[in-house]
Structures are given as structure tokens and as C-alpha cells.
Amino acid sequence: MSDKPDRLDRDLQSLFLERGRQLDAEPFLSLTLKRIEHHRSRRMAAELVLRVLGVAGIAALSPVLIRGSAWLSNVLRELFEFGGNFLDTPRGMFLAALVVLSILIVNARRIFQRL
């Protein structure tokens, strides 16, 4: 039994040492590599197309986006103005103080529950 591995090693070495013998390429390996390269190139092309379409879509939608941004800015300005005017009243200040006090109480309860 101990003779067999040495014999196999010698056979393997002699196989690789033969200069005239060329090993044929494996068809499975070459086909697999071609498929991988094909899928990779298709994915890269699809990514490029999607990027170009994304930029073109943003360029086409830019007037709508600009109008939407101006509308949102106006709505937020009105909302902040309303909030500021409400906080200027005594009722608004009382409500703000009540909200802050309730938040502080809830946070204090959470801290004491962890201990």
C-alpha cells in the first residue's frame, strides 16, 4: 500500500513532463467564462442605460421639481409663521411649556425605570 502513492506521484510527474503532449482546453470552463463575461457586459450596459435614463428623467422633470420645491417652501414658511404667531400668545406659551414639561417627565420616568 505504501508503494502506490509513490507510483502515482511518478506517473503524474511523467504526465506533466511530456513535452509533446498538449492538454485540451475544457469546454465547460471556457463556456462558463464566456457566459460570465457576457452577463458582466450586459449588466454594465444596463447600469449605463439606467444612469443615462435617470439623468434624462431628472432633466425632464426639473420644471415640475422646481415648482414643487417653491410650493413646499411657501407652505413651510406659512407653517412656521403660524407657529411663531401662536407661540407669541400666552396660550401658545402655556401649551409649549406643557409639552416640554411632559417630555421631561416621560424621559425622567424612563431613566428611573432603567435603574
SS3 state of residue 20: coil
Name the more confident of 7 and 55.
55
Give the 3-state secondary structure percentages of the chain, helix then strand then coil, rounded to 5.
Answer: 90, 0, 10
Model confidence over 69-101: pLDDT tens digits?
999 999 999 999 999 999 999 999 999 999 999
C-alpha distances in angstroms, 44 versus 38, 52, 55, 58, 67? 10, 12, 17, 21, 35
pLDDT in the model for residue 3:
55
| pTM given for the model | 0.45
Q: Which amino acid is at 48?
A: L
CA dist., res. 63 & res. 70, Å (int): 11
pLDDT digits (tens, 9 = 90+) for 12-47: 777 777 654 555 667 888 888 889 999 999 999 999
Confidence class for position 1, pLDDT limits 50, 70, 90:
very low
